[in-house]
Structure 1
Amino acid sequence: MVSRIPLCDPAERRFAQNPATIMPVETETITTDRLDRRIMSALQFDGRASFRRIARALGSSEQTVARRYRRLREAGILRVVVLPDPRASRESLFVRIRTAPGAAAPIGKALAGRPDVSWVTLAAAGTEVLCSLRIDDPRDRDDLVLKNLPRLSQVTDVSTATMLHIFAGTGLQEWQGFDARLNAQEIAALGARSRRNVPVHEPGLTPDDDALLAPLAADGRISFAALAAATGRNESAVARRVEALLERGVLFVDVEVAHALIGFRAAATLWLTVAPADIHRVGSEIALHPEVGFVGAVSGPASLVVAVTCRDTADLYRYITERLAPITAIRQHEVTVTVRNLKQAGTVMDGDRLPRL
């Protein structure tokens, strides 16, 4: 069961009672070349693929790929993690919290400190917090949504949407906004694994797996030898267990990209209303858009929630009017522009950077 962590510690409460305006952060752009971006694209298909396999697919050398990966990782641009699949949780929620001006930052920061919250963004010019909450015990949901949040005077509204389905399976359904995406032959050469649905009849994580989770969440590319040393277990046993959990879809490999650092500064969450008969078709189609990093079917007024990242607001406008507009099954849409990412894939952001190893 997830340990209960209060929404705000005393320091956060004091900050929330006297909110300051969220000041825009000057974002550094780090130069990446075509090979850097092709390596990132390859990792989206299989974040644990060996440097040798990636080099062979891209026509480069193993040493070059390894060196480029380390540079991207040390710059806070790229991070590979292995996490429990949220679809294995009893329930996953999107929580939208509207606040008084300036109060979103401390509330978002407190939410980012909860282990059951996987990502947090500030939106709507700093008056809205969006977060994803994984629930194994309904009391955690009730404590947060029904008790803790409504008690904060700076919170003006709380709404939730239950995750019904995640459209994911291959790297084609991950964010691929790079201008150096892999072709079909290169993708085949990678031999990447697909992300499976989690069958309800299959066993999930056991208490014996707990020791594996922290090292994998810190570095999803950790070797089995290092993982065995960290857990005090036999290397072959560790390898068999991790591979089995990945194969069954209990764990999944997530590749996080600090988009702002490579020039993609317009992120948004789209809430789309679609007729029930069209939800799966439309969700599957949108998941293949290079600009899209996540698509899920949800409960509530909207049918689909979509995370999209573009270079700038003009690019975002073109995506909405040129890519989404032809999908006539979309009856209504709402756009929530992201101000700042506070947490991605269970990792608290270091400004615009992903934390370094």
Structure 2
Amino acid sequence: MDADTLDPLDRQLLHALHLDGRAPFATIANVLGVSDRTVGRRVARLRATGAARVTAVVDNRATGSADWLVRLRVMPSGAGALARALAGRPDTSWVTVLSSGTEIVCLVRAPAGAPAPLETLTRHPHIRDAYAHRVLRHLMNRRWAGRTSALSDDQAAALQAPLSDNAAPIALNDLDRRLLPALAADGRAGYPHLARSVGWSESAVRRRLEDLRRSGAVRFDVEADPALFGFSTQCLLWLTVAPPRLAVVAQAVAGDTETAFVGAITGAANLLVIAVCRDETALYAYLSDRIGALRGVERVETAPITAYAKRVVPALP
């Protein structure tokens, strides 16, 4: 499936699933003015072609875990194999291969207070250097605008899942440790299937998931390649920002339509941005006209993304 085959209804469905990945098909159908069967058939096609996958995302504030951004300098001949190996780890997310073919960047979730997880990540023979940066704070409270602009404000409001801005630490139990990985693999799995998978009653699974969502510990998102929306260029931007301007610059960048992620990190560069643009010309314009004009930005390192080996956020540390 490519951008030419992603029609307006597909875009509306993806927007709806971004708002609530577990929204019943009947609810989505009612808001969009189509039949339940049409919604079910379209979502099944999007999933079968790999265009979209709903997954559970666990808030690390709730689980008491920490995110580390790891940069690995690698030998070009081993980049592909290493990216696949990292993608197979349960603690990694958005494993990316950069355009040079000599660097892989991934996000690793670890228990809070634990050291940077470099020891287990650097055993591969093709790794030359490794750097770990703690993600101090996620600074973007919305999703990339390119994939969430197909619904009207009224439609979006009717589909928006209840949100919590105060995710409090919770004690994970045995049910969570079975349930959350299953939901990370398939965020739309039905309660009977989940109950069979985890060995608990359907009512217990339903109640626990409702509690997790209400507390803000778990939300549901849909993975979709920006290329499906006609955006072919993705780039990591490592910004070095004067500390007094860090919050202002982060807020400004987080509001840009080109931005998919903003995070404050440790290291020489203190702000990481993932920019999504239609092409290289649009990326150049964004860098020169927007980023270059922000007061306080002292240095910018750009790293175009060649491919994603993994996009899903780990369910548990």
- TM score, norm. by length of structure 2: 0.87
TM superposition shift of 1:29 = 5.5
Structure 1 residue ranges (4+ consecutive) displaced by more than 4 angstroms after TM superposition: 27-30
Q: Judge conservation of contact 2:97–2:305 (CA < 8 Å) in 1.
A: yes
Q: Judge conservation of contact 1:292–1:306 (CA < 8 Å) in 2.
A: yes
* Root-mean-square deviation over aligned CA pairs: 2.6
Q: CA–CA distance in 2 between the matches of 1:142 and 1:99?
A: 14
TM superposition shift of 1:97 = 1.1
Q: CA–CA distance in 1 between the matches of 2:35 and 2:253?
A: 34
Q: CA–CA distance in 1 between the matches of 2:236 and 2:172?
A: 31
Q: Judge conservation of contact 1:205–1:250 (CA < 8 Å) in 2.
A: no
DSSP-derived class of the 2:145 partner: coil
Q: Judge conservation of contact 2:71–2:104 (CA < 8 Å) in 1.
A: yes
DSSP-derived class of the 1:307 partner: strand
Q: CA–CA distance in 2 between the matches of 1:102 and 1:89?
A: 37
Given the alignment, which residue of 85, 89, 94 partners 1:114? 89
After superposition, the Cα gap between the structure-2 partners of 1:222 and 1:323, relative to the gap in structure 1 and judged at 3 Å, is farther
Say yes or no: does 1:94 pair with 2:69.
Answer: yes
Q: CA–CA distance in 2 between the matches of 1:335 and 1:194?
A: 33
DSSP-derived class of the 1:344 partner: coil
Q: CA–CA distance in 2 between the matches of 1:164 and 1:190?
A: 31
Say yes or no: does 1:58 pair with 2:32.
Answer: yes
Q: Judge conservation of contact 2:236–2:274 (CA < 8 Å) in 1.
A: yes
Q: CA–CA distance in 1 between the matches of 2:177 and 2:86?
A: 23
One-letter code of the match for 1:159? Y
The residue aligned with 1:284 is: 251
TM superposition shift of 1:322 = 3.8
Q: Judge conservation of contact 1:268–1:337 (CA < 8 Å) in 2.
A: yes
Given the alignment, which residue of 149, 162, 165 partners 2:134? 162
The residue aligned with 2:193 is: 226
Greater shift in the superposed pair: 56-65 or 70-79: 56-65
Q: CA–CA distance in 2 between the matches of 1:308 and 1:197?
A: 27
The residue aligned with 1:183 is: 152
Q: CA–CA distance in 2 between the matches of 1:52 and 1:325?
A: 47
User: Unaligned 5+ residue runs, structure 2?
Assistant: none
Q: CA–CA distance in 2 between the matches of 1:162 and 1:53?
A: 40
DSSP-derived class of the 2:211 partner: helix
TM superposition shift of 1:266 = 1.1
Q: CA–CA distance in 1 between the matches of 2:208 and 2:234?
A: 37
After superposition, the Cα gap between the structure-2 partners of 1:198 and 1:123, relative to the gap in structure 1 and judged at 3 Å, is same
After superposition, the Cα gap between the structure-2 partners of 1:181 and 1:331, relative to the gap in structure 1 and judged at 3 Å, is farther
DSSP-derived class of the 1:320 partner: helix
Q: CA–CA distance in 1 between the matches of 2:135 and 2:166?
A: 14
Q: Judge conservation of contact 2:93–2:313 (CA < 8 Å) in 1.
A: yes
Task: Determine what percentage of the aligned residue pairs are the same residue.
Answer: 37
The residue aligned with 2:18 is: 44
Q: Judge conservation of contact 2:146–2:229 (CA < 8 Å) in 1.
A: no
Q: Judge conservation of contact 1:204–1:250 (CA < 8 Å) in 2.
A: no
Q: CA–CA distance in 1 between the matches of 2:22 and 2:77?
A: 40
Q: CA–CA distance in 2 between the matches of 1:311 and 1:257?
A: 15
One-letter code of the match for 2:301? E
Aligned residue runs from structure 1 range 1-357, under 5 A:
31-87=5-61, 88-136=63-111, 138=114, 141-144=117-120, 148=123, 152=125, 154-169=126-141, 173-178=142-147, 180-194=149-163, 196-199=165-168, 202-346=169-313
User: Unaligned 5+ residue runs, structure 1?
Assistant: 1-26, 348-357
DSSP-derived class of the 1:103 partner: helix
Q: Judge conservation of contact 2:79–2:102 (CA < 8 Å) in 1.
A: yes
After superposition, the Cα gap between the structure-2 partners of 1:161 and 1:53, relative to the gap in structure 1 and judged at 3 Å, is same
- TM score, norm. by length of structure 1: 0.78
Q: Judge conservation of contact 1:94–1:131 (CA < 8 Å) in 2.
A: yes
TM superposition shift of 1:126 = 0.5
